Chains A and B, each alone.
Chain A
């Protein structure tokens, strides 16, 4: 099977069959599972598409599945289906990054739109991941010491501060910085910061003070 797949998980075989029929009729590729455990067992790391899962299931419920996927680093967006709108659960699910939260009786168009959105989101996420992987490959050229120096540079520290912390000579710090900019083919610290951010490295550095998912670049001191 190639192309994105909608993985549908529901312990109710009849609903499972019905919703899979609908999405197939809407031209999507569908794989069904009657339990989250079964789905996780079958899941290939390279799977693309999205997950459409019942929230309430015996053994492993939808929330547990979300946690498991998250832990496994899966990029599959999750759409939850629930028999009745349960607000506390939906809030929790959305906060943990659920793509959508629909009732089982949601109109066809809403369901199909949600699934399409999830599929394109997955596509984007994969592209994003691909891009980051390419960027990260560049960072692999750096030595451990250079990576260490890079972190300090991105924290906005001056060369002498860095030399002091790492107990090395200031000139050595300068050598490391030159080596970093040469290897990463960047020309300024700003450019370097953008590159690191795009590669998704050192996420802790831009966590503080951000409320949107998009981290803001660090406030670099002007000049060296």
Chain B
């Protein structure tokens, strides 16, 4: 799981005089000490009933040692851990280790305690001395700089920045002007350390088993302890968030305010030696015991004890720290680091109730019905979960598919074989379904009139309160699988199934069609909106909004994390929750409308998954697979159990993550590299240079630097895997390029010039740090020629040779500058060429598109003429005229759709790389060429599996390539007999994380002598061709890091192949 990643950090300066030595040291240190690991901890799991998800980090993830003695977060967002084998900085992904080997100012690798002060300095207490890290400066405070000689046990800072330190042997110091001064010793047990804390008025407090008291400016004033300990007692103290201090002594938790005790808890269950105590922002008090586990005193006063056996996995706790995102970090002695994240989803039920939940439905009495595929029908209420037996010829209850309690109190339960129903507590009875094989009741729905709609694999049945009525094909609803029902705001029933989406008007089902007139296939769920829209979740096309006959789609390009939407539900706060393949997606209804209207380009969504406590990322396609109970909580049936979330309690992880560029690597030709270029530069073998943040500015890269790598981090710790990055490179454009969750970017070719690299990031909830960070650097042009010039002066050929070299170097410089200019121009030209080639390709579509447009326009004309005639009649048939007007509007939208589709491809638009679904790409292009195919009598077969991983690319450019290949294929078959013209589009995933797409025709094939020339510019076999289609396609594919090639099939016809890389999120581990 862990990826071993070798690199150096905070390397010593390589001074020119000690260049060689520095290289050796750097190399050695890098190999020996400065190890930096990529940390990929296993997914979090819920600590039963605690409300937290637990995650464990250890040496296998890059910690130098399995302990964390102290934890702090510096203002720049990094987390710092003290271990017995070095100081560790954590960015959510990698642990960077500082130890005496790579940081000589550290006197010892054994870290006892840490403190980040208000001036953003880091105090490091080691076994052998105190170190103050201020920015990039490390300062060691030895005994002659005021270090007491004994390791510092506790740091306490008050609001004005004064610091109180206590040592293990009983000394107490304050720090003024960074120099520790000793305070008079308190009257406690000599030689025993104190723990310090501070109250809201800035008064220092100390606690020890023989003394608890505060400093009044002159002396230590003891406070009275109700039942003081006899002999040694575990002691701890902490600042109370609502004022005062907490003191734990002799199994009592006391709160002092202004010198007197204000409240007291007895904690007899708490045992063992205490290392530290802290109160978190939710006012939980956490007490870390050396050997008896972790104790949590909840705001309600309840004591929770977490040990090895209660799920924490350790009992040797040392420290608890709450980061800015309110994650809790627990340092242990020898058991690694624990992270506690608040759970958002809670799982319902137990192992005995089954795992593969299909459907949930709230009951009128406040309980919840659950249908499990692997266990049958269950009921969850306050008392727990219990099975409800469904009688049947066999154990029919086993394969539960859907469940519904209607408003009349009837219970409906569908399984693989039949559908059951009962009134109240009556016996279950069978619903008469169509006698086709396998009922497979996939959808149950109650409409506003109280009718129950039952959808099965073969069709639908409706119960109107008196009897069951099968919906035969005469009603307009074809036979086939039903995915779900919905009811429009106006009371019109909608149904989605394998034959498309239908709307019921006057007992007849009318197909809802797309702008191209095709039925809407692949719709999995329906959700009516109060504004009269109908939302449709689809298998691969994301979310579709129907509004007044117009369809708008929201897909991956709008930021929808998954284009498969299997369930849709709205909470009372105006948010939609979508059950998808990758988790539950949350988005505001208002924003979904704005995106569908085209007013907002991108959605702000949250993808909630295992990191939020969701038991499984997938919900099955079933209705209802999600439900809202009377209290507003949302229930989801996932393939690993039922999860419930309270949307009211949902809080965004709102702090934007700090973004840092951490490292810059590049290659140089070793002969031209001068180590003076960067103070923290290190050259590794092969001319590789690694520079670490903080970079010394201005950052100048030597001539010929190439293979640039930039590593960056977003400091969000709730679910670092879900961080997302975007970057810009030239600083000229305002377009951000998506880097997914990659924390590294490579640029192979780097012409001389000035660059600004900007990066920004979002955390797990999609909250962006819009500003991000930037790094300016320049790549110097070649000037090593001047050294040649210097050598030249030493030679006799000063005059001629020098002049030659001089003029040559001028040319080189001029060329370098020219190249810099050309890079931009070439890019512009390439975009221009790509665009004009696309326009020319679209030209070939023109006749087909004219036909596509002609249909609706012709229909509009006929309708208008008919209306004119009808108006002349007395009385005019207004019903018919109304129908005409509806049709005219629909045809107008249809025509607009054709134009929009055309325009989206013709539009000049910056290139973007986003995850794309190959089946959608192919289908959209196929829809474009369909009229041409019809004209040329070409049969197009698409064999693209639905479950292909998404690819990373530019939608329009990839469609351009496909379009080109399809049109070429059609042209190639012009001379074939009309019944034999076939185009086959296939796609499959290859082993090398690519998707391979092929377009195969049944034409005569490519003449053998032309086969290797087809990708050459201006090479064409067509009378009207420009010869640019294929070269541009190949250039597009190569820019996508894919390949393109052509072959002749042995059975005749040509095949064109291209490959595109699988999107990062979809790659195999």
Report yes or no: B934 in contact with A15, Cβ–Cβ below 8 A: no
User: Chain A, 48-73, contact with B by CB distance < 8 Å: what is the 0/1 string?
Assistant: 00000000101000000000000000
A108 to B864, CA, bound (A): 10
Report yes or no: A84 in contact with B850, Cβ–Cβ below 8 A: yes
**Cβ contact of A14, chosen from B847, B855, B865, cutoff 8 A:** B855
Report yes or no: A12 in contact with B870, Cβ–Cβ below 8 A: no
A83 close to chain B: CB less than 8 A: yes
Report yes or no: B863 in contact with A104, Cβ–Cβ below 8 A: no
Report yes or no: A104 in contact with B858, Cβ–Cβ below 8 A: yes
Residues facing A in B837-879 (CB within 8 A) are 847, 850-851, 854-863, 865-866, 868-870, 873
Report yes or no: B859 in contact with A15, Cβ–Cβ below 8 A: yes
Residue of A13, A22, A104 contacting most chain B CB atoms (<10 Å): A22
Instruction: Return chain B residues, CB-CB under 8 Å to A41.
Output: none
A25 to B880, CA, bound (A): 10
A129 to B388, CA, bound (A): 76
A192 close to chain B: CB less than 8 A: no
Residue of A12, A14, A17, A24 contacting most chain B CB atoms (<10 Å): A14
A26 to B860, CA, bound (A): 17
Residues facing B in A12-61 (CB within 8 A) are 12-15, 17-19, 21-22, 24-26, 56, 58
Q: Which chain A residue lies CB-closest to B852?
A: A83
| Interchain nearest-CB distance for A107 vs B (Å) | 8
A105 close to chain B: CB less than 8 A: yes
A83 in contact with B858 given A14-B887, A17-B887, A21-B880 (CB within 8 Å): yes
A18 in contact with B894 given A12-B855, A83-B850, A83-B858 (CB within 8 Å): no
Report yes or no: B870 in contact with A14, Cβ–Cβ below 8 A: no
| Interchain nearest-CB distance for A67 vs B (Å) | 14
| Interchain nearest-CB distance for A166 vs B (Å) | 47
A60 to B302, CA, bound (A): 79
B813 close to chain A: CB less than 8 A: no
Q: Which chain B residue lies CB-closest to A24?
A: B866
Interface residues on A, range: 10 to 19
Report yes or no: A21 in contact with B858, Cβ–Cβ below 8 A: no
Instruction: Return chain B residues, CB-CB under 8 Å to A18.
Output: 858-863, 866, 884, 887, 891
A21 to B861, CA, bound (A): 11
Report yes or no: B859 in contact with A12, Cβ–Cβ below 8 A: yes
B409 close to chain A: CB less than 8 A: no
Interface residues on B, range: 20 to 34
A24 to B862, CA, bound (A): 12
User: Chain A, 64-106, contact with B by CB distance < 8 Å: what is the 0/1 string?
Assistant: 0000000000000000000110000000000000000000110
**Cβ contact of A17, chosen from B517, B857, B859, cutoff 8 A:** B859
Report yes or no: A26 in contact with B869, Cβ–Cβ below 8 A: yes
Instruction: Return chain B residues, CB-CB under 8 Å to A105.
Output: 854, 857-858, 861
The secondary-structure label for the interface of chain A is: helix
Report yes or no: A22 in contact with B855, Cβ–Cβ below 8 A: no
Residue of B847, B854, B857, B858 contacting most chain A CB atoms (<10 Å): B858
Q: Which chain A residue lies CB-closest to B877?
A: A25
A108 to B890, CA, bound (A): 21
A24 to B850, CA, bound (A): 28
A166 to B859, CA, bound (A): 64
B475 close to chain A: CB less than 8 A: no
| Interchain nearest-CB distance for A150 vs B (Å) | 45
Report yes or no: B935 in contact with A21, Cβ–Cβ below 8 A: no
A104 in contact with B854 given A12-B517, A14-B894 (CB within 8 Å): yes
A6 to B517, CA, bound (A): 25
Instruction: Return chain B residues, CB-CB under 8 Å to A15.
Output: 855-856, 858-859, 862
Q: Which chain B residue lies CB-closest to A109?
A: B865
| Interchain nearest-CB distance for A4 vs B (Å) | 19
A187 to B796, CA, bound (A): 132
Report yes or no: B869 in contact with A25, Cβ–Cβ below 8 A: yes
Residue of A17, A19, A83, A84 contacting most chain B CB atoms (<10 Å): A83
Report yes or no: B934 in contact with A83, Cβ–Cβ below 8 A: no
Instruction: Return chain B residues, CB-CB under 8 Å to A58.
Output: 934
Report yes or no: A25 in contact with B935, Cβ–Cβ below 8 A: no
User: Chain A, 128-142, contact with B by CB distance < 8 Å: what is the 0/1 string?
Assistant: 000000000000000
Instruction: Return chain A residues, CB-CB under 8 Å to B859.
Output: 12, 14-15, 17-19
Residue of B859, B862, B869, B884 contacting most chain A CB atoms (<10 Å): B862
A139 to B126, CA, bound (A): 126
Instruction: Return chain A residues, CB-CB under 8 Å to B890.
Output: 14
A66 to B860, CA, bound (A): 27
Contacts A14-B517, A14-B887, A21-B866 known; list 7 others, CB within 8 Å: A18-B862, A18-B866, A18-B891, A21-B863, A22-B862, A22-B863, A22-B865
Q: List 23 A-B contacts (CB under 8 A).
A: A13-B517, A14-B517, A14-B859, A15-B856, A15-B859, A18-B858, A18-B859, A18-B863, A19-B859, A21-B884, A25-B866, A25-B869, A56-B935, A58-B934, A83-B851, A83-B854, A84-B847, A84-B851, A84-B854, A104-B858, A108-B862, A108-B865, A108-B868
Q: Please name the 7 residue pairs, one residue from A and one from B, whose CB atoms are nearest each other, closest first.
A: A104-B858, A18-B862, A25-B869, A83-B854, A22-B866, A21-B866, A15-B859
